[in-house]
């Protein structure tokens, strides 16, 4: 039957989902290989077509309106089905290209996945990767529903029903604008003061949020959010504009720290390291292209020597968490290389 006249095209649905995932028109535009003005023009055209405001635009980023939240939820389901349709057509045509569908949390997708894909292309030039990006809770949901073969999350352990392997890790940093009072401290910030201060943090379901809450809970403290933002880009923008202290992945703020646009505030008495994990459904262990991607993801963790966490007021963080899930494939099928767990990256 004919589609309703207000039905959007798949490409604009994909762009809208990218804005939701990155919290930024500029980053969404870069992901799709178009300019920011072009992305903004397309989304304004979509809003006129639908007769609905989908985005609230500001210098610190773009956030979804309630109508935008509902629209993105529906758009994701449409895109999932469109991907299945395209994959089915490829299969019917007898295509020889390997396809692996994966999902990754925002930090991992932005900072690590591009390098893994470069390694995968060298190992298996014919492999194509379909990547979904969301917070760790969304990734886990996709893996549990077996909508993707492999997920990458920021979590201390694998959720029930999933198996896992460590693929590295990082530290959470408390960052402020250089003019903030904490930037002038000569001693690490006591953990109690951090807990008593309203912070700009990620939304519930994010691996960054979970790691911070667990670090505070070990000291009997609770988080007090000043603002909960759904993307790393929005969180950095808030910190840069002086909205307040923010807690971010060390990987995501490396450029801002190096350029002096943000200042790290050392925290005493807290182990803010966390693991990154590859997860898969216990009934669907990685094989073929998915196993090759897992090997590519684990290679940096195996090759990088362990470095101690930064001192925090005369203390060092506790030992890194342990206890990976068992890997059903003990050796890489093409190289016979051990796929044992690598050390935790700082």
Residues 90 and 178 in one domain: no
Q: Decide if pLDDT at 231 tops 70.
A: yes
The phi-psi region of residue 243 (left if phi > 0; otherwise alpha if psi is between -120 and 50; otherwise beta) is: alpha
Q: How confident is the model at residue 262 (pLDDT cuts 50, 70, 90)?
A: very high
Asked if the model's pLDDT at residue 142 lies above 90, the reply is yes
**CB under 8 Å to 322, separation ≥6 — which residues?**
none
User: Does the residue 127 lie in any domain?
Assistant: no
Q: Using the predicted structure, report yes or no on whether residue 95 has a pLDDT greater than 70.
A: no
Structural domain count, the chain: 2
Q: Which residue has the higher pLDDT, 337 or 120?
A: 120
Q: Which of 250, 273, 296 is the last residue of a domain?
A: 273
Residue 117, in any domain of the structure: no
pLDDT confidence band for 149 (50 / 70 / 90): very high
CATH code, domain with 241: 3.40.190.290
Residue 309 lies in a domain: no
Top-ranked range on mean pLDDT: pick from 17-21, 175-179, 228-232, 303-307: 175-179
Q: Is residue 312 within 8 Å of 173, Cβ to Cβ?
A: no
pLDDT (0 to 100) of residue 96: 52
Q: Rounded to 10 degrees, what is the CA torsion of 255, 259, 262, 264? A: 80
Does some domain include residue 305? Answer: no
Q: For residue 106, tell me if it sits in a domain.
A: no
Give the distance from CA 175 to its chain's centroid: 19
Answer yes or no: is pLDDT of 314 > 70: no
**Based on the domain organization, do 178 and 268 belong to the same domain?**
yes
Tokens 């050390």 — which residue? 343
**Bridge pairing between strands 263-265 and 246-249:** unpaired
**Residue 176: predicted pLDDT:** 94
Dump pLDDT digits (tens) for 153-176.
Answer: 987 777 888 999 999 889 999 999
Helices then strands, counting H and E runs in the chain, come out as 12, 13
Assessment of whether the complete model's pTM goes beyond 0.85? no
Q: Is residue 161 part of a domain?
A: no
- Per-residue pLDDT, 276: 93
Whole-number average pLDDT of the chain: 80
**CATH at residue 33:** 1.10.10.10
- CB-based burial, 254-276: b 16+ in 10 Å, e otherwise: eebeeeeebbbbbbbbbbbbbbb
Q: pLDDT tier at 321 (50, 70, 90 boundaries)? A: very low
Count of all residues that appear for the chain in the document: 346
Q: Whose CA is closest to 322, among 214, 171, 207, 164? A: 164
Q: Which residue has the higher pLDDT, 52 or 333?
A: 52
Q: Per mean pLDDT, which range of 97-101, 215-219, 297-301 is the poorest?
A: 297-301
| Final residue in a domain of this structure, among 94, 113, 145 | 94
Confidence of residue 329 (pLDDT cuts 50, 70, 90): very low
Categorize the per-residue pLDDT at 92 as very low, low, confident or very high, splitting at 50, 70 and 90. low
Whether the per-residue pLDDT at 65 is higher than 60: the answer is yes
Residues 197, 245 contacting (CB under 8 angstroms): yes
| Rounded Cα gap, residues 105 and 132, in angstroms | 9
Residue 148 lies in a domain: no
Domain with 58, as residue range(s), is 1-94
Is 200 in contact with 194 (CB distance < 8 Å)?
A: no
Which pLDDT band, with edges at 50, 70 and 90, does 338 fall under?
Answer: very low
Domain boundary among 253, 273, 293: 273
Q: For residue 8, is it within any domain?
A: yes
């Amino acid at each position: 039957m004919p589609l309703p006249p207000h039905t959007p095209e798949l490409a604009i649905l994909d762009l809208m989902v990218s804005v939701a995932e990155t919290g930024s028109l500029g980053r969404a535009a870069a992901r799709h290989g178009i300019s920011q003005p072009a992305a903004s023009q397309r989304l304004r055209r979509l809003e006129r077509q639908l007769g609905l405001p989908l985005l609230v635009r500001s210098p610190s980023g773009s956030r979804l309106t309630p109508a935008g939240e509902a629209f993105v939820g529906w758009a994701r389901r449409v895109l999932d089905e469109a991907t299945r349709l395209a994959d089915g057509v490829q299969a019917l045509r007898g295509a020889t290209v390997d396809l692996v569908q994966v999902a990754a949390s925002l930090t991992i997708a932005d900072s690590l996945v591009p390098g893994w894909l470069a390694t995968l292309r060298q190992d298996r030039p014919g492999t194509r990767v379909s990547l979904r990006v969301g917070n760790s809770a969304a990734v886990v949901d996709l893996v549990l529903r077996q909508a993707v073969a492999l997920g990458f999350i920021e979590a201390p352990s694998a959720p029930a029903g999933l198996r896992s392997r460590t693929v590295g890790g990082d530290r959470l940093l408390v960052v402020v604008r250089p003019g903030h009072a904490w930037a002038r401290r000569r001693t690490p910030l006591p953990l109690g003061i951090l807990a008593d201060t309203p912070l700009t943090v990620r939304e519930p379901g994010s691996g960054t949020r979970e790691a911070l809450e667990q670090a505070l809970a070990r000291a009997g403290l609770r988080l007090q959010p000043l603002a909960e933002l759904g993307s790393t880009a929005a969180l950095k923008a808030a910190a840069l504009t002086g909205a307040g202290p923010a807690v971010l992945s060390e990987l995501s703020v490396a450029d801002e720290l190096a350029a002096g646009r943000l200042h790290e505030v050392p925290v005493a008495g807290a182990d803010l390291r966390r693991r990154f994990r590859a997860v898969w459904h216990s009934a669907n262990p990685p094989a073929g292209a998915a196993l090759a991607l897992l090997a590519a993801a684990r290679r940096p963790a195996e090759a990088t020597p362990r470095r101690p966490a930064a001192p925090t007021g005369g203390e060092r963080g506790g030992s890194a968490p342990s206890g990976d899930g068992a890997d059903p494939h003990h050796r890489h099928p093409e190289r016979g290389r051990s796929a044992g767990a690598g050390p935790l990256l700082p």
